[in-house]
Chain A
Amino acid sequence: MTDRPLVEVSNLSVRYGDSDVLQGVDLQVAPNEIVTLVGPNGSGKSTLIGAILGGVRPSEGRVTRRPDLRIGYVPQRLVLDPTLPMTVARFLSLPRRVPRDRVHDALERAGVPGIADRQMSVLSGGQFQRALLARALLSTPDLLILDEATAGLDQPGSAAFYERIEQVRADTGCAVLMVSHDLHVVMSASDRVICLNGHVCCEGTPEVVAAAPDYRRLFGAGTRGTLALYRHDHDHTHFHDDAHTHGPGCAHHHGTERGATE
Protein backbone atom coordinates (compact mmCIF):
# COMPACT_ATOMS: atom_id res chain seq x y z
CA MET A 1 0.00 0.00 0.00
CA THR A 2 2.78 2.41 0.88
CA ASP A 3 4.42 1.64 -2.43
CA ARG A 4 1.40 2.64 -4.41
CA PRO A 5 2.49 5.40 -6.78
CA LEU A 6 1.32 8.91 -5.93
CA VAL A 7 0.92 9.69 -9.58
CA GLU A 8 0.79 7.32 -12.49
CA VAL A 9 0.93 8.55 -16.05
CA SER A 10 0.29 5.87 -18.62
CA ASN A 11 0.64 6.13 -22.37
CA LEU A 12 -0.05 9.86 -22.23
CA SER A 13 -0.27 11.78 -25.49
CA VAL A 14 -1.09 15.46 -25.78
CA ARG A 15 -1.79 17.12 -29.08
CA TYR A 16 -2.14 20.86 -29.68
CA GLY A 17 -3.74 21.28 -33.06
CA ASP A 18 -1.60 19.28 -35.47
CA SER A 19 1.49 19.01 -33.35
CA ASP A 20 2.18 16.25 -30.89
CA VAL A 21 3.64 17.67 -27.74
CA LEU A 22 3.75 14.40 -25.84
CA GLN A 23 3.57 10.88 -27.19
CA GLY A 24 3.10 7.70 -25.21
CA VAL A 25 4.63 8.95 -21.99
CA ASP A 26 4.73 6.62 -19.00
CA LEU A 27 5.75 7.95 -15.63
CA GLN A 28 5.31 7.03 -12.01
CA VAL A 29 6.22 8.88 -8.87
CA ALA A 30 6.52 6.77 -5.74
CA PRO A 31 6.28 8.12 -2.20
CA ASN A 32 9.42 9.78 -0.87
CA GLU A 33 11.41 9.82 -4.12
CA ILE A 34 12.85 12.79 -5.97
CA VAL A 35 12.20 12.55 -9.71
CA THR A 36 13.56 15.11 -12.11
CA LEU A 37 12.40 15.81 -15.63
CA VAL A 38 15.03 17.15 -17.98
CA GLY A 39 14.72 17.91 -21.66
CA PRO A 40 15.34 20.66 -24.20
CA ASN A 41 12.97 23.58 -24.71
CA GLY A 42 9.71 22.47 -26.24
CA SER A 43 10.19 18.88 -25.13
CA GLY A 44 6.86 18.88 -23.29
CA LYS A 45 8.07 19.10 -19.71
CA SER A 46 5.64 21.78 -18.65
CA THR A 47 2.85 20.12 -20.62
CA LEU A 48 3.47 16.92 -18.69
CA ILE A 49 3.33 18.83 -15.39
CA GLY A 50 0.14 20.50 -16.61
CA ALA A 51 -1.41 17.12 -17.36
CA ILE A 52 -0.48 15.84 -13.90
CA LEU A 53 -2.08 18.91 -12.31
CA GLY A 54 -5.15 18.43 -14.47
CA GLY A 55 -5.02 21.60 -16.56
CA VAL A 56 -3.92 19.88 -19.76
CA ARG A 57 -6.31 17.38 -21.24
CA PRO A 58 -4.71 14.18 -22.58
CA SER A 59 -5.62 13.28 -26.16
CA GLU A 60 -4.72 9.71 -25.29
CA GLY A 61 -3.73 7.79 -22.21
CA ARG A 62 -4.45 8.74 -18.66
CA VAL A 63 -3.16 10.35 -15.51
CA THR A 64 -4.07 8.69 -12.24
CA ARG A 65 -3.55 10.49 -8.98
CA ARG A 66 -3.77 8.62 -5.71
CA PRO A 67 -7.08 9.54 -4.09
CA ASP A 68 -6.74 12.42 -1.61
CA LEU A 69 -3.30 13.19 -2.93
CA ARG A 70 -2.13 16.53 -1.58
CA ILE A 71 -0.02 18.41 -4.09
CA GLY A 72 2.22 21.35 -3.33
CA TYR A 73 2.99 23.22 -6.52
CA VAL A 74 5.72 25.76 -7.18
CA PRO A 75 5.24 27.28 -10.62
CA GLN A 76 8.03 28.40 -12.90
CA ARG A 77 6.89 31.99 -12.72
CA LEU A 78 4.06 33.66 -10.94
CA VAL A 79 3.15 37.04 -12.30
CA LEU A 80 1.12 39.00 -9.81
CA ASP A 81 -0.97 41.66 -11.44
CA PRO A 82 0.27 44.99 -10.05
CA THR A 83 -3.31 45.88 -9.15
CA LEU A 84 -3.51 42.95 -6.74
CA PRO A 85 -2.21 43.82 -3.25
CA MET A 86 -0.79 40.77 -1.51
CA THR A 87 1.35 40.37 1.59
CA VAL A 88 3.49 37.26 1.90
CA ALA A 89 1.44 36.14 4.91
CA ARG A 90 -1.82 36.49 2.99
CA PHE A 91 -0.36 34.62 0.03
CA LEU A 92 0.65 31.73 2.26
CA SER A 93 -2.95 31.54 3.50
CA LEU A 94 -4.31 30.79 0.04
CA PRO A 95 -6.55 28.98 -0.47
CA ARG A 96 -6.83 27.87 3.18
CA ARG A 97 -6.35 30.13 6.18
CA VAL A 98 -3.23 29.25 8.13
CA PRO A 99 -2.42 30.38 11.67
CA ARG A 100 0.20 33.08 11.98
CA ASP A 101 2.78 30.89 13.73
CA ARG A 102 2.59 28.26 10.99
CA VAL A 103 3.18 30.99 8.41
CA HIS A 104 6.33 32.05 10.23
CA ASP A 105 7.39 28.45 10.61
CA ALA A 106 6.94 27.75 6.90
CA LEU A 107 8.89 30.86 5.93
CA GLU A 108 11.69 29.84 8.23
CA ARG A 109 11.78 26.34 6.80
CA ALA A 110 11.91 27.80 3.30
CA GLY A 111 14.86 29.94 4.38
CA VAL A 112 13.21 33.36 4.35
CA PRO A 113 12.18 34.24 7.91
CA GLY A 114 10.79 37.67 8.63
CA ILE A 115 9.24 38.57 5.29
CA ALA A 116 5.63 37.81 6.28
CA ASP A 117 4.41 41.41 6.19
CA ARG A 118 6.11 42.45 2.98
CA GLN A 119 4.26 42.82 -0.28
CA MET A 120 4.92 40.00 -2.75
CA SER A 121 5.74 42.64 -5.39
CA VAL A 122 8.83 43.92 -3.56
CA LEU A 123 10.51 40.54 -3.00
CA SER A 124 13.69 39.61 -4.82
CA GLY A 125 13.59 36.67 -7.22
CA GLY A 126 15.08 34.29 -4.66
CA GLN A 127 12.77 35.44 -1.86
CA PHE A 128 9.78 35.12 -4.17
CA GLN A 129 10.59 31.52 -5.13
CA ARG A 130 11.11 30.64 -1.47
CA ALA A 131 7.80 32.23 -0.57
CA LEU A 132 6.21 30.03 -3.25
CA LEU A 133 7.98 27.02 -1.73
CA ALA A 134 6.81 27.98 1.77
CA ARG A 135 3.24 28.17 0.52
CA ALA A 136 3.53 24.77 -1.15
CA LEU A 137 4.88 23.27 2.07
CA LEU A 138 2.03 24.60 4.19
CA SER A 139 -0.41 22.16 2.65
CA THR A 140 1.80 19.32 4.00
CA PRO A 141 1.94 17.84 0.52
CA ASP A 142 2.46 14.18 -0.34
CA LEU A 143 3.94 15.37 -3.61
CA LEU A 144 5.84 18.57 -4.25
CA ILE A 145 5.86 19.64 -7.88
CA LEU A 146 8.45 22.20 -8.95
CA ASP A 147 8.33 23.53 -12.50
CA GLU A 148 11.73 25.11 -13.11
CA ALA A 149 11.41 26.70 -9.72
CA THR A 150 14.91 28.08 -9.90
CA ALA A 151 14.57 29.77 -13.32
CA GLY A 152 15.61 33.40 -12.36
CA LEU A 153 18.08 32.33 -9.64
CA ASP A 154 21.86 32.36 -9.95
CA GLN A 155 23.83 29.15 -9.48
CA PRO A 156 24.55 29.44 -5.74
CA GLY A 157 20.94 30.51 -5.25
CA SER A 158 19.52 27.52 -7.05
CA ALA A 159 21.99 25.13 -5.40
CA ALA A 160 20.81 26.40 -2.02
CA PHE A 161 17.22 26.07 -3.18
CA TYR A 162 17.66 22.40 -4.10
CA GLU A 163 19.48 21.71 -0.86
CA ARG A 164 16.41 23.09 0.84
CA ILE A 165 14.22 20.74 -1.20
CA GLU A 166 16.27 17.71 -0.15
CA GLN A 167 16.01 18.85 3.44
CA VAL A 168 12.24 19.19 3.09
CA ARG A 169 12.01 15.68 1.70
CA ALA A 170 14.09 14.38 4.59
CA ASP A 171 11.92 16.24 7.12
CA THR A 172 8.47 15.58 5.73
CA GLY A 173 8.87 12.46 3.63
CA CYS A 174 7.10 13.97 0.65
CA ALA A 175 7.92 12.97 -2.90
CA VAL A 176 9.29 15.59 -5.27
CA LEU A 177 8.72 15.88 -9.00
CA MET A 178 10.72 18.67 -10.55
CA VAL A 179 11.52 20.10 -13.90
CA SER A 180 14.93 21.62 -14.24
CA HIS A 181 17.39 23.08 -16.67
CA ASP A 182 20.02 23.10 -14.04
CA LEU A 183 21.73 19.85 -14.94
CA HIS A 184 24.53 20.09 -12.41
CA VAL A 185 22.24 20.36 -9.44
CA VAL A 186 19.64 18.00 -10.81
CA MET A 187 22.13 15.24 -11.13
CA SER A 188 23.21 15.38 -7.52
CA ALA A 189 19.79 15.90 -5.96
CA SER A 190 17.64 13.32 -7.74
CA ASP A 191 16.89 9.68 -7.15
CA ARG A 192 15.69 9.28 -10.70
CA VAL A 193 16.04 11.39 -13.82
CA ILE A 194 13.70 11.24 -16.77
CA CYS A 195 14.88 12.70 -20.02
CA LEU A 196 11.98 13.92 -22.08
CA ASN A 197 11.78 14.94 -25.70
CA GLY A 198 8.14 14.54 -26.64
CA HIS A 199 8.54 11.00 -25.37
CA VAL A 200 10.65 9.49 -22.64
CA CYS A 201 14.10 9.28 -24.19
CA CYS A 202 15.77 7.60 -21.29
CA GLU A 203 15.36 7.32 -17.58
CA GLY A 204 17.12 5.95 -14.56
CA THR A 205 19.47 7.03 -11.84
CA PRO A 206 21.37 10.26 -12.57
CA GLU A 207 24.50 8.29 -13.49
CA VAL A 208 22.65 6.13 -15.97
CA VAL A 209 20.89 9.00 -17.67
CA ALA A 210 24.02 11.09 -17.83
CA ALA A 211 25.73 8.32 -19.71
CA ALA A 212 22.87 7.48 -22.02
CA PRO A 213 23.59 8.35 -25.68
CA ASP A 214 20.12 9.93 -26.09
CA TYR A 215 20.77 12.28 -23.25
CA ARG A 216 24.15 13.24 -24.63
CA ARG A 217 22.71 13.95 -28.04
CA LEU A 218 20.04 16.14 -26.53
CA PHE A 219 22.28 18.17 -24.32
CA GLY A 220 25.37 18.11 -26.46
CA ALA A 221 28.97 18.88 -25.70
CA GLY A 222 28.19 21.72 -23.32
CA THR A 223 27.42 19.35 -20.53
CA ARG A 224 30.29 16.94 -21.04
CA GLY A 225 32.27 18.47 -18.23
CA THR A 226 29.55 17.84 -15.74
CA LEU A 227 28.79 14.42 -17.05
CA ALA A 228 32.35 13.37 -16.67
CA LEU A 229 31.71 13.47 -12.96
CA TYR A 230 29.62 10.37 -13.26
CA ARG A 231 30.86 6.91 -13.87
CA HIS A 232 29.52 5.09 -16.88
CA ASP A 233 27.89 2.35 -15.01
CA HIS A 234 25.39 0.98 -17.50
CA ASP A 235 23.24 -1.74 -16.25
CA HIS A 236 19.80 -0.61 -17.22
CA THR A 237 17.71 -1.70 -20.13
CA HIS A 238 16.02 0.72 -22.38
CA PHE A 239 13.22 -0.14 -24.74
CA HIS A 240 11.87 2.05 -27.46
CA ASP A 241 8.55 2.32 -29.15
CA ASP A 242 9.25 2.37 -32.85
CA ALA A 243 6.36 4.71 -33.65
CA HIS A 244 7.72 7.74 -31.89
CA THR A 245 9.12 10.84 -33.51
CA HIS A 246 12.15 12.83 -32.57
CA GLY A 247 12.86 16.49 -32.21
CA PRO A 248 15.66 17.92 -34.31
CA GLY A 249 18.21 17.46 -31.55
CA CYS A 250 17.37 13.86 -30.92
CA ALA A 251 19.13 11.76 -33.46
CA HIS A 252 19.35 8.39 -31.81
CA HIS A 253 18.88 5.11 -33.56
CA HIS A 254 16.50 2.50 -32.42
CA GLY A 255 18.19 -0.46 -30.91
CA THR A 256 16.34 -3.21 -29.19
CA GLU A 257 18.19 -2.56 -26.02
CA ARG A 258 20.37 0.31 -25.16
CA GLY A 259 22.98 1.05 -22.62
CA ALA A 260 23.85 -2.53 -21.80
CA THR A 261 27.43 -2.84 -20.76
CA GLU A 262 29.65 -1.33 -23.37
Chain B
Amino acid sequence: MILDDFMTRAALAGIGTALAAAPLGCFVVWRRMAYFGDATAHAAILGVALSLAMSLPVFAGALVVALVMATAVTLISGRGYAMDTLLGVMAHSALAFGLVGVSFLGGVRIDLMAYLFGDILSVSRADLAVIWGGAALVLGLIGWRWSALLTSTLNPDLARAAGIDPKREQLVLTLALAVVVAVAIKVVGVLLITALLIIPAATVRPFATTPERMGALAALVAMASAWAGLRASYALDTPTGPTIVCVAALLFGLSTVASGLQRAR
Protein backbone atom coordinates (compact mmCIF):
# COMPACT_ATOMS: atom_id res chain seq x y z
CA MET B 1 0.00 0.00 0.00
CA ILE B 2 1.25 3.39 -0.98
CA LEU B 3 0.63 4.92 2.45
CA ASP B 4 3.17 2.49 3.94
CA ASP B 5 5.95 4.75 2.77
CA PHE B 6 6.72 7.43 5.36
CA MET B 7 7.82 9.86 2.66
CA THR B 8 4.48 9.52 0.90
CA ARG B 9 2.62 10.09 4.14
CA ALA B 10 4.80 13.11 4.89
CA ALA B 11 4.20 14.56 1.43
CA LEU B 12 0.45 14.09 1.74
CA ALA B 13 0.49 15.67 5.21
CA GLY B 14 2.46 18.66 3.97
CA ILE B 15 0.30 19.17 0.90
CA GLY B 16 -2.92 18.84 2.89
CA THR B 17 -1.79 21.41 5.44
CA ALA B 18 -0.56 23.76 2.73
CA LEU B 19 -3.83 23.52 0.86
CA ALA B 20 -5.83 24.67 3.88
CA ALA B 21 -3.32 27.17 5.23
CA ALA B 22 -2.73 29.21 2.08
CA PRO B 23 -6.25 30.53 1.32
CA LEU B 24 -6.79 31.20 5.01
CA GLY B 25 -3.39 32.88 5.00
CA CYS B 26 -4.68 35.34 2.39
CA PHE B 27 -7.30 36.55 4.86
CA VAL B 28 -4.66 36.71 7.58
CA VAL B 29 -2.62 38.98 5.28
CA TRP B 30 -5.56 41.08 4.05
CA ARG B 31 -6.89 41.63 7.55
CA ARG B 32 -3.45 42.11 9.09
CA MET B 33 -3.94 39.26 11.52
CA ALA B 34 -0.39 37.87 11.45
CA TYR B 35 0.17 38.46 15.13
CA PHE B 36 -3.23 36.96 15.81
CA GLY B 37 -2.07 33.80 14.03
CA ASP B 38 1.07 33.74 16.14
CA ALA B 39 -0.89 34.09 19.37
CA THR B 40 -3.20 31.25 18.41
CA ALA B 41 -0.33 29.03 17.35
CA HIS B 42 1.73 29.70 20.46
CA ALA B 43 -1.25 28.99 22.67
CA ALA B 44 -1.49 25.58 21.03
CA ILE B 45 1.68 24.45 22.82
CA LEU B 46 -0.23 24.91 26.06
CA GLY B 47 -2.88 22.64 24.57
CA VAL B 48 -0.19 20.10 23.73
CA ALA B 49 1.06 20.14 27.34
CA LEU B 50 -2.45 19.76 28.72
CA SER B 51 -3.36 16.90 26.43
CA LEU B 52 -0.11 15.06 27.19
CA ALA B 53 -0.78 15.49 30.91
CA MET B 54 -4.30 14.15 30.57
CA SER B 55 -3.42 11.49 27.97
CA LEU B 56 -5.71 13.03 25.39
CA PRO B 57 -5.01 13.24 21.67
CA VAL B 58 -2.65 16.14 21.04
CA PHE B 59 -4.76 17.36 18.13
CA ALA B 60 -7.83 17.75 20.34
CA GLY B 61 -5.98 19.60 23.09
CA ALA B 62 -4.27 21.93 20.65
CA LEU B 63 -7.54 22.62 18.85
CA VAL B 64 -9.42 23.47 22.04
CA VAL B 65 -6.77 25.77 23.46
CA ALA B 66 -6.19 27.45 20.08
CA LEU B 67 -9.94 28.00 19.82
CA VAL B 68 -10.15 29.44 23.33
CA MET B 69 -7.21 31.74 22.65
CA ALA B 70 -8.52 32.89 19.27
CA THR B 71 -12.00 33.54 20.67
CA ALA B 72 -10.62 35.38 23.71
CA VAL B 73 -8.53 37.63 21.49
CA THR B 74 -11.47 38.28 19.18
CA LEU B 75 -13.71 39.23 22.08
CA ILE B 76 -11.15 41.48 23.72
CA SER B 77 -10.20 43.22 20.48
CA GLY B 78 -11.87 46.54 19.77
CA ARG B 79 -12.37 47.35 23.42
CA GLY B 80 -9.73 49.96 23.79
CA TYR B 81 -6.74 47.72 24.45
CA ALA B 82 -3.62 48.15 22.35
CA MET B 83 -3.94 45.08 20.19
CA ASP B 84 -0.30 44.27 19.49
CA THR B 85 0.64 44.62 23.16
CA LEU B 86 -2.24 42.43 24.22
CA LEU B 87 -1.46 39.78 21.62
CA GLY B 88 2.21 39.89 22.57
CA VAL B 89 1.32 39.32 26.20
CA MET B 90 -1.10 36.50 25.46
CA ALA B 91 0.99 34.75 22.79
CA HIS B 92 4.18 34.58 24.76
CA SER B 93 2.53 33.85 28.10
CA ALA B 94 0.69 30.93 26.54
CA LEU B 95 3.92 29.69 25.00
CA ALA B 96 5.80 30.07 28.31
CA PHE B 97 3.09 28.37 30.35
CA GLY B 98 2.96 25.61 27.78
CA LEU B 99 6.71 25.05 27.92
CA VAL B 100 6.72 25.08 31.72
CA GLY B 101 3.74 22.73 31.73
CA VAL B 102 5.50 20.29 29.43
CA SER B 103 8.57 20.29 31.69
CA PHE B 104 6.47 18.88 34.54
CA LEU B 105 5.72 15.84 32.43
CA GLY B 106 8.79 13.64 32.83
CA GLY B 107 9.78 11.72 29.76
CA VAL B 108 8.13 13.85 27.13
CA ARG B 109 10.80 16.50 27.21
CA ILE B 110 12.58 14.91 24.26
CA ASP B 111 9.43 15.33 22.22
CA LEU B 112 9.21 19.07 22.71
CA MET B 113 11.16 19.88 19.56
CA ALA B 114 8.65 17.87 17.58
CA TYR B 115 5.83 20.17 18.70
CA LEU B 116 7.80 23.38 18.31
CA PHE B 117 9.16 22.64 14.83
CA GLY B 118 7.00 19.78 13.61
CA ASP B 119 7.76 16.14 12.95
CA ILE B 120 6.29 15.47 9.55
CA LEU B 121 8.28 12.27 8.96
CA SER B 122 6.48 10.54 11.83
CA VAL B 123 2.99 11.24 10.49
CA SER B 124 0.78 8.18 10.91
CA ARG B 125 -2.25 7.18 8.89
CA ALA B 126 -4.47 8.46 11.68
CA ASP B 127 -2.61 11.78 11.59
CA LEU B 128 -3.19 11.93 7.85
CA ALA B 129 -6.90 11.41 8.34
CA VAL B 130 -6.98 14.24 10.89
CA ILE B 131 -4.94 16.55 8.68
CA TRP B 132 -7.03 15.99 5.55
CA GLY B 133 -10.25 16.09 7.54
CA GLY B 134 -9.21 19.40 9.06
CA ALA B 135 -8.08 20.74 5.68
CA ALA B 136 -11.40 19.78 4.09
CA LEU B 137 -13.27 21.45 6.94
CA VAL B 138 -11.29 24.69 6.61
CA LEU B 139 -11.55 24.78 2.80
CA GLY B 140 -15.25 24.06 2.98
CA LEU B 141 -15.81 26.75 5.59
CA ILE B 142 -13.85 29.38 3.68
CA GLY B 143 -15.36 28.43 0.34
CA TRP B 144 -18.86 28.64 1.80
CA ARG B 145 -18.34 32.03 3.44
CA TRP B 146 -15.96 33.42 0.78
CA SER B 147 -18.03 36.37 -0.44
CA ALA B 148 -19.23 37.33 3.03
CA LEU B 149 -15.69 37.09 4.39
CA LEU B 150 -14.35 39.26 1.57
CA THR B 151 -17.06 41.87 2.03
CA SER B 152 -16.50 42.19 5.75
CA THR B 153 -12.75 42.28 5.17
CA LEU B 154 -13.26 45.29 2.90
CA ASN B 155 -15.39 47.20 5.35
CA PRO B 156 -17.66 46.05 8.22
CA ASP B 157 -20.39 48.60 7.43
CA LEU B 158 -20.40 47.57 3.78
CA ALA B 159 -21.04 44.04 5.01
CA ARG B 160 -23.79 45.11 7.43
CA ALA B 161 -25.57 47.05 4.70
CA ALA B 162 -25.64 43.82 2.67
CA GLY B 163 -27.08 41.89 5.60
CA ILE B 164 -23.80 40.21 6.61
CA ASP B 165 -22.76 40.11 10.24
CA PRO B 166 -19.01 40.90 10.31
CA LYS B 167 -18.70 39.46 13.82
CA ARG B 168 -19.92 36.12 12.60
CA GLU B 169 -17.46 36.14 9.71
CA GLN B 170 -14.68 36.97 12.14
CA LEU B 171 -15.74 33.94 14.14
CA VAL B 172 -15.57 31.77 11.01
CA LEU B 173 -12.00 32.88 10.45
CA THR B 174 -11.17 32.30 14.10
CA LEU B 175 -12.49 28.77 13.92
CA ALA B 176 -10.65 28.06 10.67
CA LEU B 177 -7.45 29.43 12.14
CA ALA B 178 -7.70 27.19 15.21
CA VAL B 179 -8.23 24.13 13.01
CA VAL B 180 -5.26 24.99 10.78
CA VAL B 181 -3.05 25.50 13.83
CA ALA B 182 -4.06 22.16 15.30
CA VAL B 183 -3.51 20.42 11.96
CA ALA B 184 -0.19 22.09 11.22
CA ILE B 185 1.52 21.31 14.54
CA LYS B 186 2.62 17.91 13.29
CA VAL B 187 3.83 19.38 9.99
CA VAL B 188 5.73 22.58 10.79
CA GLY B 189 5.30 22.98 14.56
CA VAL B 190 3.76 25.88 16.48
CA LEU B 191 6.62 28.29 15.89
CA LEU B 192 6.41 28.19 12.10
CA ILE B 193 2.66 27.92 11.46
CA THR B 194 2.28 31.63 10.80
CA ALA B 195 4.99 31.36 8.15
CA LEU B 196 2.97 28.74 6.32
CA LEU B 197 -0.06 31.04 6.43
CA ILE B 198 1.59 34.25 5.37
CA ILE B 199 4.57 33.56 3.11
CA PRO B 200 2.68 31.88 0.23
CA ALA B 201 0.04 34.63 0.23
CA ALA B 202 2.70 37.35 0.24
CA THR B 203 4.63 35.52 -2.49
CA VAL B 204 1.78 35.53 -4.99
CA ARG B 205 0.39 39.00 -4.26
CA PRO B 206 2.22 40.74 -7.14
CA PHE B 207 0.81 38.25 -9.64
CA ALA B 208 -2.82 38.23 -8.54
CA THR B 209 -5.54 40.49 -9.92
CA THR B 210 -8.47 39.16 -7.91
CA PRO B 211 -8.81 37.69 -4.41
CA GLU B 212 -9.77 34.30 -5.87
CA ARG B 213 -6.66 34.13 -8.00
CA MET B 214 -4.52 35.09 -5.02
CA GLY B 215 -6.04 32.29 -2.93
CA ALA B 216 -5.52 29.69 -5.65
CA LEU B 217 -1.97 30.78 -6.46
CA ALA B 218 -1.09 30.85 -2.76
CA ALA B 219 -2.34 27.28 -2.40
CA LEU B 220 -0.15 26.21 -5.34
CA VAL B 221 2.93 27.92 -3.93
CA ALA B 222 2.29 26.46 -0.47
CA MET B 223 1.90 22.93 -1.85
CA ALA B 224 5.03 23.31 -3.97
CA SER B 225 6.95 24.55 -0.92
CA ALA B 226 5.76 21.62 1.17
CA TRP B 227 6.75 19.07 -1.47
CA ALA B 228 10.10 20.69 -2.40
CA GLY B 229 10.92 21.29 1.27
CA LEU B 230 10.31 17.66 2.04
CA ARG B 231 12.56 16.49 -0.81
CA ALA B 232 15.25 19.00 0.15
CA SER B 233 15.23 17.96 3.79
CA TYR B 234 15.57 14.34 2.72
CA ALA B 235 18.48 15.12 0.43
CA LEU B 236 20.25 17.50 2.81
CA ASP B 237 19.29 15.72 6.02
CA THR B 238 17.83 18.91 7.51
CA PRO B 239 14.77 19.32 9.80
CA THR B 240 11.72 19.12 7.54
CA GLY B 241 9.39 21.81 8.93
CA PRO B 242 12.00 24.58 8.84
CA THR B 243 13.16 23.40 5.39
CA ILE B 244 9.60 23.78 4.05
CA VAL B 245 9.49 27.32 5.39
CA CYS B 246 12.94 28.03 3.90
CA VAL B 247 11.71 26.96 0.46
CA ALA B 248 8.64 29.20 0.84
CA ALA B 249 10.88 32.09 1.88
CA LEU B 250 13.14 31.55 -1.17
CA LEU B 251 10.07 31.61 -3.43
CA PHE B 252 9.02 34.86 -1.76
CA GLY B 253 12.44 36.30 -2.52
CA LEU B 254 12.18 35.23 -6.16
CA SER B 255 8.70 36.71 -6.44
CA THR B 256 9.86 40.03 -4.98
CA VAL B 257 12.73 40.23 -7.45
CA ALA B 258 10.53 39.18 -10.37
CA SER B 259 7.82 41.73 -9.60
CA GLY B 260 10.50 44.39 -9.12
CA LEU B 261 11.90 43.62 -12.57
CA GLN B 262 8.42 43.59 -14.05
CA ARG B 263 7.73 47.05 -12.69
CA ALA B 264 11.12 48.40 -13.80
CA ARG B 265 10.44 47.40 -17.38
Minimum C-beta distance from A80 to chain B (A)? 7
The contact of B162 among A78, A80, A95, by CB within 8 Å, is A95
- B122 lies within 8 A of chain A by Cβ: no
In the complex, chain A residues whose CB is within 8 Å of the CB of B154: 78, 80, 84, 91, 94
A84 to B30, CA, bound (A): 6
A55 to B31, CA, bound (A): 18
**Judging by beta carbons under 8 Å apart, are B155 and A83 in contact?**
no
**Judging by beta carbons under 8 Å apart, are B155 and A81 in contact?**
no
Report whether over half of chain B's contact residues are helix, strand or loop; otherwise say mixed: helix
**Judging by beta carbons under 8 Å apart, are B30 and A78 in contact?**
no
**Judging by beta carbons under 8 Å apart, are A95 and B157 in contact?**
no
The contact of B151 among A50, A53, A71, A94, by CB within 8 Å, is A94
Q: In residues 41-79 of chain A, which contact B (Cβ within 8 Å)?
A: 49-50, 53-55, 71-73, 75, 78
A139 to B158, CA, bound (A): 12
Interface size class of B (residues with CB under 8 A): 20 to 34
**Judging by beta carbons under 8 Å apart, are A84 and B153 in contact?**
yes
**Judging by beta carbons under 8 Å apart, are B202 and A55 in contact?**
no
5 residue pairs bridging A and B, Cβ less than 8 Å apart: A49-B157, A73-B160, A85-B209, A94-B151, A95-B162
- B213 lies within 8 A of chain A by Cβ: yes
**Judging by beta carbons under 8 Å apart, are B151 and A75 in contact?**
no
A91 to B154, CA, bound (A): 10
**Judging by beta carbons under 8 Å apart, are A86 and B147 in contact?**
no
Minimum C-beta distance from B246 to chain A (A)? 22
In the complex, chain B residues whose CB is within 8 Å of the CB of A192: none
Minimum C-beta distance from A215 to chain B (A)? 27
What residues of chain A have their CB less than 8 Å away from a CB belonging to chain B?
A: 49-50, 53-55, 71-73, 75, 78, 80-81, 83-87, 90-91, 94-97, 119, 136, 139, 145
What residues of chain B have their CB less than 8 Å away from a CB belonging to chain A?
A: 29-32, 147-148, 150-151, 153-162, 164, 166, 201-202, 205, 208-214
**Judging by beta carbons under 8 Å apart, are B29 and A85 in contact?**
no
In the complex, chain A residues whose CB is within 8 Å of the CB of B158: 73, 75, 78
**Judging by beta carbons under 8 Å apart, are A139 and B162 in contact?**
yes
**Judging by beta carbons under 8 Å apart, are A53 and B148 in contact?**
no
**Judging by beta carbons under 8 Å apart, are B208 and A85 in contact?**
yes
**Judging by beta carbons under 8 Å apart, are A55 and B209 in contact?**
no
Interface centre among B29, B161, B208, B212 (most CB of A within 10 A): B161
B147 closest partner in A (C-beta): A95
A139 closest partner in B (C-beta): B162
Q: A53-B157, A75-B155 are in contact. Are A95 and B164 (CB under 8 A)?
A: yes
**Judging by beta carbons under 8 Å apart, are B32 and A73 in contact?**
no
**Judging by beta carbons under 8 Å apart, are A84 and B211 in contact?**
yes
In the complex, chain A residues whose CB is within 8 Å of the CB of B157: 49-50, 53, 55, 73, 75
**Judging by beta carbons under 8 Å apart, are A95 and B205 in contact?**
no
A251 to B179, CA, bound (A): 58
Q: A53-B160, A54-B160 are in contact. Are A81 and B147 (CB under 8 A)?
A: no
In the complex, chain A residues whose CB is within 8 Å of the CB of B213: 85
Q: A81-B32, A83-B29, A83-B202 are in contact. Are A95 and B159 (CB under 8 A)?
A: yes
Interface centre among A55, A72, A80, A85 (most CB of B within 10 A): A85
Q: A80-B154, A83-B202, A145-B161 are in contact. Are A90 and B147 (CB under 8 A)?
A: no
